[in-house]
Amino acid sequence: MAHITINQYLQQVYEAIDNHEGSFCAELLSFKHPHVANPRLQLASPEEKCQQVLEVPYDEMVAAHLRCTYAVSNHDFVEAYKCQTLVVQYPFVMFAVTLDLRIFANNAEQQLLRKGKGKLGDMLEKAAEQLMGCFRVCASDNRAGIDDSKKWGMLFLINQLFKIYFKINKLHLCKPLIRAIDSSNLKDDYSMAQRVTYKYYVGRKAMFDSDYKPAEEYLSFSFQHCHRSSQRNKRMILIYLLPVKMLLGHMPNHQLLRKYDLMQFADVTKAVSEGNLLLLNEALAKHETFFIRCGIFLILEKLKIITYRNLFKKVYQLLKTHQLPLDAFLVALKMMQVEEVDIDEVQCILANLICEGHIKGYISHQHQKLVVSKANPFPLLSSSS
Amino acid sequence: MNNKIASRRVSHSRRRGQPVERDWRQHHNQGVWREVQEERRQESIPRGVCLSMCPIRELQDREAQNLLHRFEVLSGTERERWPRADPSGVVKEYARPAAGKDSTRPSDLRPPAVLLKTVFYLVDNIAASPTLRPWTEVYDFVFDRLRSVRQDMIIQRVSGADCVAVLERTVRFLIYASYRLCGEPLRLYDPRINDTHLQESLSWLLECYTSGKHPNQEEFQALGLLYNLGSSRATQHTMELPERIRSSPVMHLALSVSRAFMERNPVRLLRLAHSLDFLQSCALHRHLVTCRRDLLLIYSHGHSSKNCRFPLHKLSHILALDVPLTNQLCQAHGVEVHGDSVVFSKTTFTEPEAGKLQCAHFHDLVDRKQRDLTVGSIIHGCT
C-alpha cells in the first residue's frame, strides 16, 4: 500500500466500488489505512486523474480524499478538515469517514486556537452539522431491507455527535437524538461497544439534568458491559458513576478506587460517610482542578446534604434521645468549622433534610428541639433519594 | 478490463457535455473555499465614517417622513405638522437587515468612538433623565438605540476595550430595567425580550473577556452568575474561570449565594443577599420568588405539627419582608397564619395560583439598597 502508484490505487477503489465491497472501499478512504502515508497519493490536484478512472460522484469524493492526504502531510489540518467535509457527503462509507471528520475538526480547532483565530467550538459545530446531515439520511432510510438499512449507521453517528456536543457544551442538542434512538426498534441490536458508548453519554446527560436514578442505571450498564481490557474507558465511566452512586448513598471501597487510579475520591468518600464537613470541604478544594475539569465538582457539592445527614445522625446516636436540642446540631456544625452558621440556618438545614425524607420528624421552634420518630428516624439513603 | 476503462472514458466525455451538474458541484466546492478567501480579505471589513449619532441620510429621511421619536424632536417644534429634528438628539435606530439593503455603507456606520459617545448620551440624557416620563417609553427608546449600536459593532467586527465599554453599560442598563419595570403590563414591557437581549449581550461580553485584561470582569462574572442563578451552564462556566477571578470578594459572594441556592438553603441565601449591592440585587431579584417559596415549602415540611407555633415576626425577618407582606405570602402559599403565629403543615402548602403573586410587591429588599444612587451612576458603574 505504501508503494503503489496513483493509478494502481484508483484501480483498487474502482474495483471495490464495482464489486460492492463497502468495507474495503471504506478502508481505502480511511486515515487509519496505510495508503495515506504514500507520497505518490498525496496530491494537491488529483481531480483529473480521478476523473479518468472513476465515475461521478466517486471521482470527486476520492479527489477530495487525496487532497486531504496532501493537506495532512503538510500538517494543515484546517485544509484537511475542509477536504474531509466534501468526502463526508457520500454516506455509504460513513463510519471511517465521519470519525476522521471529527478528529480533523478537533485538530483544526487546536490549530486555529494556536494561531489566535476562530472561536472555540466553531469547527466542531460545523462538523456536527455535517454529521446531522448524515444522520438524517440514515434515519429516513425506509427503502432498503433491514440488512442494508442505513439505520445501522444511526447509533454510530449519534455517538459521534454526543462527543461533539459535550465538548462544545451544548447538551440540550442531545435530546432529539436520544428520542430518535428510544423510538427505534433496533436499539438493542446494535453492537455492544456502541451501546456502551451511547449509555455513557446518556447517563452523563441525565446526571447533568439531576436525574440520578436513571443516570445510575445507564452508567452502571455502561461500566458492566464495557470491555474488560479497556481500562481507560472503564475509568472514564467510573468518574461519573461514582458521584451518582454516592448521592444515592453507596460509597465505593478503596480497592475499586485504587484499581482505577481514582484516589481523588477517597477523601471525599471518607468525609461523606463520617459526616465530616470539614474533611469534605478540604477534599473538594484539594482536587478542585480535577473535579472541575471532569465537570463533576458541582455534583460533588451536592454531597453536602448527605454529609449533613450523616453528621446529624451521629448527634442523634450520641444523645440517645428522640427530642434533640437544636443547639447540639449548631455545636456539631461549629466543630466542623462551618462559616457563619446560626440557629436559624440549623433549622433550615434540618427542615430541608426532613423535606427530602432523610429525617423522619419535625422541628418545634418553641422548644428549640428536633423531635424525631421513634422508628427509623434516619432512613437508608437509597430509599429516600 | 480494458474495455471497461475505454467505455468509462466515453461516458465521461458525454457527461462533460452536460454543464449543469458539473457547474453545481464546482460552485458548491467553491463555497467551501470561500471561507478561506474570506479570512484573507481582512481589508473588506466595513469601517464606519459617520461622526454623528445618526447618519445624515437617515435623519433627513425620518424628518421628512415624520418618523422622528418624541425625544429626537427640536423643542418648540413638537406641535407642528412636521416637527424638526434636533441634531444633537437624533440617534440611529435599529433596522432589521433586509435583502437589497446595504447595511455596510461607511457613511451609515458609526466608528467605535462615536458608538461609545452615543451610549453615554443615551445613558446620561435619556435613561438617567429626571424629567423624561414614563420610564417605559424611556426604556423602549434606549433599548432600541442600544440595539442599533450593537448592530454597528457587529458589522464592523468591533472587539476589545471599545466593545467591552459599550457592552458593560448595555448589560447594566438591561439588568436595572429588569428590576425597575418588573410588574409593568405586558403591552408596555416584555420581560422575555429584555431577557433575550440581556443574555446575548452578556454572552458576548464574557466572550470578550477571554482575551486581554479587563478591570470590571469580576463584576460582570458575578452579575452573570446571579442573574442566571441555578443554571448548570452558568455555574459550570464560573467554575472554569481562573482561580484569581473566582477568589475575588465579589465573585466569592456571588458563588456563596449560588451555593446556598444549589443546597436549597434559602435562609442562608436571603441572609447573604443583604450583602449584595443594588445592581447585584436587581440581577438576583427574580429568583427571590423561588427562594421564598422554597423556604415556605421546606418549613411546611420541617415544622409540620398541629401543636407547634412559629412566630410570624421571626418568619418575616428570615424572609426579609415586613409583616403584612409575610402574611400575604403565606396566604398565597396556603400557609396558615393565626394572629402572630404561623402553623406550618405539609398538607396545606400549595403553589400559588398563576399570576396571583406579583414579584413587584415584594421588592423591598432591593428597593432599600437604591438609596441615593442615580440611574446614571448605576449604569456607568461608578457606585
Contacting residues of B for A353, CB less than 8 Å apart: 302
Question: What pLDDT is recorded for position B5?
Answer: 39
Question: What pLDDT is recorded for position B18?
Answer: 43
Q: Which residue of B has its CA nearest to A360?
A: B302
Q: Residue A1 pLDDT more than 70?
A: no
Residue B301 within a domain: yes
CB contact under 8 A, A53 and B5: yes
Give B110's DSSP letter: P
Of B196, B214, B232, which marks where a domain is finished? Answer: B214
Give B95's DSSP letter: -
- The structural architecture, per CATH, of the domain A310-383 is Orthogonal Bundle (1.10)
CATH number at residue B314: 1.10.10
Same domain membership, residue B52 and residue B168: yes
Q: Which residue of B has its CA nearest to A54?
A: B8
> What is the pLDDT confidence band of residue A267, given thresholds at 50, 70 and 90?
very high
Q: Can you spell out the DSSP letters for A66-93?
A: HHHHHHHHTT-HHHHHHHHHHHTTSGGG
Residue B377 within a domain: no
Residue B107 within a domain: yes
Residue B365 within a domain: no
Tell me which long-range contacts B112-115 makes (C-beta under 8 A, separation of at least 24).
B112/B153, B112/B156, B112/B158, B112/B162, B112/B163, B113/B162, B114/B48, B114/B50, B114/B51, B114/B52, B114/B53, B115/B149, B115/B152, B115/B153, B115/B158, B115/B162, B115/B166
What is the rounded average pLDDT for all residues in chain A? 83
Least Cα separation, residue A356 to chain B (angstroms) = 9
Question: What pLDDT is recorded for position A37?
Answer: 82
Q: Which of A180, A168, A74 minimizes the C-alpha distance to A128? A: A168
Q: Positive or negative, the Cα torsion across A116, A117, A123, A125? A: positive
B233 touches chain A (CB under 8 A): yes
Question: What pLDDT is recorded for position B129?
Answer: 94
Q: Can you spell out the DSSP letters for B44-88?
A: GS------SSS-HHHHHHHHHTT---GGGBPTT-TTSSSPPB-TT
Same domain membership, residue B209 and residue B91: yes
B299 touches chain A (CB under 8 A): yes
Contacting residues of A for B298, CB less than 8 Å apart: 348, 351-352, 355
Q: Could you tell me the pTM of the whole model?
A: 0.77
Same domain membership, residue B187 and residue B87: yes
CB contact under 8 A, A364 and B295: no
d(CA A306, CA A379): 12
Looking at A78-82, A341-345, B87-91, B324-328, which range is the least confident one? A78-82
d(CA A139, CA A132): 10
Over range A208-218, report the average pLDDT: 90
Counted domains in chain B? 2
d(CA A114, CA A133): 29
Q: How many residues does chain A have?
A: 385
Residue B18 within a domain: no
CB contact under 8 A, A85 and B32: yes
CB contact under 8 A, A348 and B32: no
B235 touches chain A (CB under 8 A): yes
Of B214, B235, B262, which marks where a domain is finished? Answer: B214
Q: Which residue of B has its CA nearest to A365?
A: B310
Q: Which of A382, A353, A355 minimizes the C-alpha distance to A245? A: A382
Walk along chain B (383 residues) and give the pLDDT tens digit of each residue.
Answer: 444 434 433 334 344 444 444 444 454 454 445 555 555 555 578 899 999 999 999 999 999 999 999 999 998 888 888 899 999 999 999 998 777 778 888 999 999 999 999 999 999 999 999 999 899 999 999 999 999 999 999 999 999 999 999 999 999 999 999 999 999 999 999 999 999 999 999 999 999 999 889 999 999 999 999 999 998 889 989 988 999 999 999 999 999 999 999 889 999 999 999 999 999 999 999 999 999 999 999 999 999 988 889 999 999 999 999 999 999 999 999 999 999 999 999 999 999 887 777 888 888 888 888 888 999 999 998 75
> Cβ neighbours of residue B292 under 8 Å, at least 6 residues apart?
B266, B270, B319, B321, B329, B362
d(CA A152, CA A5): 35
Decide: A308 and A275 in contact? Cβ < 8 Å.
Answer: yes
CB contact under 8 A, B318 and A349: no
CB contact under 8 A, B36 and A348: no
Residue B71: other Cβ atoms inside 10 A: 19
CA B199 to chain centre: 5
* 3-state class (DSSP) for residue B148: helix
Residue B359: other Cβ atoms inside 10 A: 14
Same domain membership, residue B189 and residue B62: yes
Give B361's DSSP letter: G
Residue B11 within a domain: no
Give pLDDT tens digits for A148-186.
Answer: 555 666 777 788 888 888 877 778 888 888 888 887 766
For cell 410570624, name the residue.
B312
B259 touches chain A (CB under 8 A): yes
Q: Which residue of B has its CA nearest to A371?
A: B303
d(CA A104, CA A71): 11
CB contact under 8 A, A348 and B29: no
Pick the residue of A363, A364, A367, A371 with the most B CBs within 10 A to test the interface with B by mutation: A363
Residues 213-232 of B with CB under 8 A from A: 232
Decide: A65 and A29 in contact? Cβ < 8 Å.
Answer: yes
Same domain membership, residue B317 and residue B203: no
Of B214, B239, B260, which marks where a domain is finished? Answer: B214
Contacting residues of A for B318, CB less than 8 Å apart: 344
Higher pLDDT, B310 or A59: B310
Q: Residue A378 pLDDT more than 90?
A: yes
Contacting residues of B for A56, CB less than 8 Å apart: 15, 21
- Numbered residues of chain A with Cβ closer than 8 Å to any chain B Cβ: 51-53, 55-57, 60, 82, 85-86, 117, 119, 169, 208, 292, 295, 297-298, 301-302, 304-305, 344-345, 347-355, 362-366, 371
Same domain membership, residue B305 and residue B206: no
Give pLDDT tens digits for B6-45.
Answer: 443 333 434 444 444 444 445 445 444 555 555 555 557 8
Contacting residues of A for B301, CB less than 8 Å apart: 351, 354-355
Q: What angle do CA B39, B42, B46 make, to 5 degrees?
A: 125
Distances (CA, A) of B251 to B215, B234, B244, B268, B379: 14, 13, 10, 17, 20
Same domain membership, residue B194 and residue B64: yes
Domain that holds residue B134: 43-95+103-214
DSSP collapsed to 3 states, B310-339: EEHHHHHHHHCCCHHHHHHHHHHCCCEEEC
Residue B237 within a domain: no
Distances (CA, A) of B351 to A273, B294, B296, B355: 35, 10, 10, 11
Pick the residue of A352, A354, A356, A369 with the most B CBs within 10 A to test the interface with B by mutation: A352
Question: What pLDDT is recorded for position B367?
Answer: 87
Task: For chain A, give every domain's residue range.
Answer: 1-118, 310-383
Q: Which residue of A has its CA nearest to B9?
A: A52
Question: What pLDDT is recorded for position A48?
Answer: 82
Contacting residues of B for A295, CB less than 8 Å apart: 236
Contacting residues of B for A215, CB less than 8 Å apart: none
Rg of the Cα trace of chain B? 28
Decide: A262 and A294 in contact? Cβ < 8 Å.
Answer: no
Decide: A131 and A158 in contact? Cβ < 8 Å.
Answer: no
Distances (CA, A) of A114 to A74, A118, B25: 17, 10, 33
Same domain membership, residue B202 and residue B91: yes
Least Cα separation, residue B2 to chain A (angstroms) = 11
CB contact under 8 A, A355 and B262: no
Give A150's DSSP letter: G
